[in-house]
Amino acid sequence: MFKWYYPQDSSGRPVNFVHWHTILYKSTLTWPKTNFLMENFEDIRKFSACFCNVNAKINGLIRFLYLLLNSNKIKKVFDMFYTSIYIHENEHSDLNKISERKIRMLFSMCNKFFIPMGLYALPPIIALIIDPFSQTKPFVYPSVFPYDAQSVGRFLFVNLSFTFIGIFTVTLWNAEDVFISIIMSYTQARYQMLYEELDGLCNFEGNIKIYRSKLKLIMKNQQILQRCKDLSQDLFSFSMFIAMAYATLHFCMISFVLTKIGFEADSVKYLSWMLVQILEIFLLCYFCQMASDAADGIKDRFYFCGWENLLYSGADKKDILDIVRKIQYGIARSSRPTVYKTWYYWDLSLQGFKVVLSTSLSYFMFLNTLDN
């Protein structure tokens, strides 16, 4: 999924060439929309509608550039995921099936991003079929060109370019969001495996050596999951900060545009774009919330793992004291709340999702007041 981000060996040169030219291409196609913003600065409806599109392209450009410059971190996260987090079917078939079911649902939801892209591309196609020589054909995104872009050849080239950049941006968002959600889903499943292993310690109360060795392995796996959490947050915190900031601004601007244009043909594409953007942020916050809850719940499993029965087992007191200290350490380490943050600002949680919506609503009310 992410393999095209980090080429290896000599084959990386042509791929990097394509990467940097794609960035240049995206940057170049932002200028016509910027010109449109400058010419329609006083028309708040047109300005808001175009600003959403420009903001989306800048968001995609920043996220793509950030991932391209952090290819080594992506390799580490990939290695960490496949070696320490991913659950194979022969390892735990039930949790593997549950996780795969969540991922299939995630893919189906993320593909909804392409619906607004189709709605944006539909008006130019219809206009080109009805009257290919018209000088008022709409572009995929509102733009102003320094040349005549209404001729058939140029019109086709411009709209195909816009569509390509739009699909590229949406695909990037899908890939990044799906990968983060997959990590969170399997992290939750890993913690559930630790739950089962801690509950199973009660079966070894009569053999303190096995009890201690299994407890040591559980604590080691818990440390691995914590390192995985730190590594993935270090990589994706900036990208998710950009996504959350963009969503906050986007909800506000789209809501404002919808209140100004009312119900018409354009309102469908704006509404669909806002809904899929809400869905994106909700999915990210939901999967991170599940992983956080699973990490926070392990302290209770440590406490109820049957350690108190060892006091009456007749085992050596030093061994019992060593186990009790390990459990105390596990409880203390798990007592600190696990929170996934976006660049140490927004929390990737359901509460963070509420904050994004409330902040966007505040900006929307401010824009309405300013317009009136």
Separation CA 52–CA 72 (nearest Å): 32
Q: Per-residue pLDDT for 372 more than 70?
A: no
Which has the minimum average pLDDT: 65-79, 139-153, 162-176, 289-303? Answer: 162-176
Residue 340 main-chain phi, psi, to 5 deg: -95, 120
Side-chain-side CA neighbours of 336 within 13 Å: the count stands at 7
Average pLDDT over all residues of the chain: 82
Other beta carbons within 10 Å of 292: 22
Which residues are registered as beta bridge partners of 346? 342
pLDDT higher than threshold 70 for residue 72: yes
- Which residues face 342 on adjacent strands? 346
Higher pLDDT, 222 or 6: 222
- Using CB atoms within 10 A of its CB, is residue 174 exposed (0-12), middle (13-18) or buried (19+)? buried
Q: For residue 240, which amino acid is it?
A: M
| pLDDT digits 0-9 by tens, 344-362 | 778 999 999 999 999 999 9
Check residues 97 and 169 and name the one with the higher pLDDT. 97
Q: What pLDDT is attached to residue 194?
A: 94
- Alpha carbon 193 to chain centroid, angstroms: 25
User: Quick check: 211 pLDDT over 80?
Assistant: yes
Q: Which two tokens stand for residue 279?
A: 């869905």
| pLDDT for residue 26 is more than 60 | no
φ, ψ for residue 326 (rounded to 5)? -60, -45
* pLDDT tens for each residue of 285-294: 999 999 999 9
